[in-house]
Chain A
Amino acid sequence: GDSVTQMEGPVTLSEEAFLTINCTYTATGYPSLFWYVQYPGEGLQLLLKATKADDKGSNKGFEATYRKETTSFHLEKGSVQVSDSAVYFCALSVLTGNQFYFGTGTSLTVIP
């Protein structure tokens, strides 16, 4: 079945450090891939997405590239800020419907 696996946390980084959160997927068709972010006490917010192979999604300094050959969609940011502290979820949806599959989430804490 369709599923997403993302690296376990928690991840703790110093401000201005480079961030990578790994995400790999299994899908029977051609999925769209997403990163969502959840701040404390809030719902999930769509951060970025990519709908086909080699697409790069980007937003607020975060980016991720849809790699079909490695079935991956790793999230990266060149220089994290304290305000980036949150839980990050990788997700996929199959093109034929609105069924989303979420990873377990990776907690990121950025310290000054």
Chain B
Amino acid sequence: KAGVTQTPRYLIKTRGQQVTLSCSPISGHRSVSWYQQTPGQGLQFLFEYFSETQRNKGNFPGRFSGRQFSNSRSEMNVSTLELGDSALYLCASSIMSGYSYEQYFGPGTRLTVT
């Protein structure tokens, strides 16, 4: 099975612009979660989508949004970019295994805001 894919892998944007990142989950996985990873804050949960509905949400401002399509692919959007949004954005697709979910991560999109 193909793993989780994320596009693009690298992105450079200017303050004030907006950006859209894409994630294709593992085939058969219906849940997609997004995380922001920075050296100072570690992994911070952004949101989770399941069957096109946002099921969980982290503590990020409204500039961060996402959506999921009927084929489970997901996008996240960041509007009015700030320097502090520079980070590695990780997508994880999930499936129930036994009594728990397991999350499988993509390689991430490295966003640099200048």
Are the C-beta atoms of A49 and B102 separated by less than 8 Å? yes
The 8 A CB mask of A41-58 against B (1 = contact, 0 = none) is 111111001011000000
Partner of B43, one of A32, A89, A95, A98: A89
A83 close to chain B: CB less than 8 A: no
Q: A43-B107, A98-B31 are in contact. Are A49 and B42 (CB under 8 A)?
A: no
* Total contacting residues, chain B, CB less than 8 A: 25
Dominant secondary structure of chain B at its interface with chain A: strand
The 8 A CB mask of A25-67 against B (1 = contact, 0 = none) is 0000000101010000111111001011000000000000000
CA of A99 to CA of B59, assembled, Å = 13
What distance in Å separates the Cβ of A98 from its nearest Cβ neighbour in chain B?
4
Interface residues of A in 54-112 (CB under 8 A from B): 89, 93, 95, 97-105
Q: A43-B105, A43-B107 are in contact. Are A100 and B98 (CB under 8 A)?
A: no
Give the A-binding residues of B (Cβ under 8 A). Answer: 4, 31, 33, 35, 42-43, 45, 48, 50, 55-56, 90, 92, 94, 98-108
Give the B-binding residues of A (Cβ under 8 A). Answer: 32, 34, 36, 41-46, 49, 51-52, 89, 93, 95, 97-105
